[in-house]
Amino acid sequence: MTAPAQPAAQVASNAAQPSAATKAKAKGSNRPSPEEIEAKRAARALKKQKEAEDKAAKQEAIRQSLLDSGDADGRVAGGHLDSQGNTLYIPRSWGKVASPQRGGGDNGTGNHGDPGPKVKFLSWNILAQGLVRRKLFPGSDCLKFKDRAAGLTAELSSRTGHGWDVGCFQEVDRLEVHGETLQRDGFAYVYEKGYRTKQHGLLIAWRKAMFGEAEHRKLLVDLDEEGVYEPDLADGGRRRTACSRVTRNIGLFVALRFAERRGASTAPGVIVATTHLFWHPMHAYERARQSGILVRRLEAFRQSLGEEWRTATVVLAGDFNDQPHSATYHLLTGKPLTDHCIQEIRNSTVVHKSIDDKRERAQAAPGASGTDAVDSDKTAAEQGGEGDGGEGEEQDAEEGDVDEEEEEGEEGGADDQMLKNCRAATPEDGLLTIDELLQLHDLSRPLPGCSPAQPSTSGGDAEQARGNGRLGLMSSYGSHYGRLCDPEEVDNFFGTKSRGRERHDDETWRQGQDNVHTGESREPMWTIFSSLFSLTLDYIFLFPTTAGDASSGQGEAATATATATATATARQARFPQVTRLLRTHRTETLQPGVPRKGVCASDHVAIAAEVVCGSSPSPSS
């Protein structure tokens, strides 16, 4: 049977349509070859690479433009941002100190003679990486150094940070990183540690364009070994240190000469010191002793530089591990001692076993006598345990940095509210009485004697016993932070009523309760704000421009004369003028704690003061 014939129109249509084979052949002819595909891929990759290079070049041009166009403080715009626009730290502004009313100013704000150069002094405990423990900073996202480095570098750098001229830094390690930052910004620095194997130390840096390449003079003070009085030859040359425990804390002093001096009435430079006092909260006596030694040695350092340095600005800045209501702060600033101050000194006038151990080693050593120094590295290695500055705690693996480093200060444990391994002090220990601590800090009086003073049996004058009328130092923030303008720092003080809890383990604290330190203190509300501790520990102190005769003359007549003139001397004290202060973070910014990415890479907050240096200021009243 033959198939039925198709209509002519359908046959024509079928003839017009290409066959499947023809379609496949045509499709294959339009597909790029493997070589063409590879060429297109290479072109796309080259385009992406060029776009990335153009973007990087644009970002570098912007960065370089910022570096070439700093503000009045030498800071670049956007220095707190990385190349992607991410925040590295929260920047802060400088606040101008309001001028006092005529005749009514406090210390450091009176009429001044020839104005000297303005120098911005900064102090910051940058938190040594070797001290980082996750248990001390629960919840922090900024513990590994790779997470902290960018924020630390950006804020530490004067150009991308706070525009400082002289910086005092504590807990400095990773010197290969921080030193490079300082040198790149045009700064020189000196660095010292408390003992050879210590992993972090103190650093003072200065702008070379302002002070030159090298320091004029440097001094390292061992606070354990420094005597409170020159050796008494009549007593066999015995040195009285009055030390209550081995701490291995130091003070670092430098004299910096101005690269260009303005005139004969201007001092040749500035004198700067930094320290990190002993951390344990219960050892108030030892911190009070250390601060007094720093005051005396720094004043002696100024006098040793010669007459032309007599009116030089002297700055003592650092982490003092004590709050404004403490004995240390009251002694340093010449404020009368409160009942709390007196009680905390009395409670901590004890001797730690590290002192007894040190004496035993000294007596056992060939040719050793008295309380002279022994190998400080050996002392450091043998003193351990109890979280009190000893060695040996391994670091959490996740932080992955230096191990065998001591836990410091506010990073202590639950036992930091107890005195451990201590005994009652005896007269033979030679610890300082409260009267002697007052005298040690008073620049208008001679040093205490080489032998312990006997407690007063007559009771004496109550004002004198508490230290009224002493010549102390001036706190830059304590004296001026309450007088910032545009805007004022309202409710951001240590004495503010709404200041919250200081310790996470304070079971007596209740939400909304008043600040236990409510009062007139105008120190910053916080200078450290971790998730465990929130405290005010860092200060920038200024010495009186002339401190009078700090001789060590003894005897009843000398003591009576010094006592009679102390109040008048303190009232006539002259201090350098503070013109601006770096504003500190408020609580809402720091919560729930730092270090934290994008906020601050340390648990401490940097503080800074602009000071008119080297001028001839008039009395404040």
Q: Where are the domains of the chain?
A: 94-612
What are the start-end ranges of the H helices in 305-383? 327-333, 339-348, 353-364, 376-382
Q: Read off the tokens for 214.
A: 């090298």
Token pair 């198709």 in the structure block, residue: 6
Q: Which ranges of 349-418 would DSSP assign to H, the alpha helix?
A: 353-364, 376-382
CA distances for 278 relative to 246, 267, 284, 556, 609, angstroms: 10, 33, 9, 34, 24
Residue 48 host element (H or E): helix 34-67
pLDDT of residue 107: 47
Q: State residue 372's pLDDT score.
A: 47
Structure tokens at 9: 């129109």
The model scores a pTM over 0.85: no
Identify the H or E element spanning 147: helix 145-156
Cβ burial, residue 614 (10 Å; 0-12/13-18/19+): buried
**Which alpha helices (DSSP H) does 230-304 contain, by range?**
284-304
What is the pLDDT at residue 237? 63
To the nearest 10 degrees (0 to 180), the angle between helices 284-304 and 434-441 is 30
pLDDT at 552: 43
Length of the chain: 621
Q: In the chain, which stretches have pLDDT less than 70?
A: 1-29, 55-71, 100-114, 230-237, 262-265, 365-415, 450-465, 467, 546-571, 615-621
The amino acid occupying position 500 is G
Strand 166-172 relative to strand 118-125: parallel, antiparallel, unpaired? Answer: parallel
User: Which helix (H) or strand (E) segment is 148 a member of?
Assistant: helix 145-156
Instruction: Answer yes or no: are the C-beta atoms of 202 and 319 closer than 8 Å.
Output: no
Which of helix, strand or coil describes residue 416?
helix
Instruction: Assign 427 to helix, strand or coil.
Output: helix
Q: Which amino acid is at 201?
A: G
Dist CA 92 CA 578 (whole Å): 18
> Torsion-angle region of residue 321: left (phi > 0), alpha (psi -120 to 50) or beta?
left
pLDDT in the model for residue 15: 55
Number of alpha carbons in the 13 Å side-chain half-sphere of residue 144: 7
> What pLDDT score does 418 carry?
85
pLDDT at 4: 59
Longest pairwise C-alpha distance within the chain:
151
Which superfamily does CATH assign the domain made up of 94-612 to? Endonuclease/exonuclease/phosphatase (3.60.10.10)
The answer for residues whose C-beta is within 8 angstroms of residue 331's C-beta and 6 or more apart is 288, 291, 292, 337, 341, 437, 438, 441, 467, 472
Cβ pair 279, 322 in contact under 8 A: no
Q: How far is CA 576 from CA 53, 69, 102, 612, in A?
A: 52, 30, 17, 6
| H helix or E strand, kind and range, residue 557 | helix 556-571
Phi/psi for 606 (5° steps) reads: -65, 140
Exposed / middle / buried, residue 346 (Cβ in 10 Å: 0-12, 13-18, 19+): middle
**pLDDT score for 211:** 97
Contact 559, 106 (CB under 8 A): no
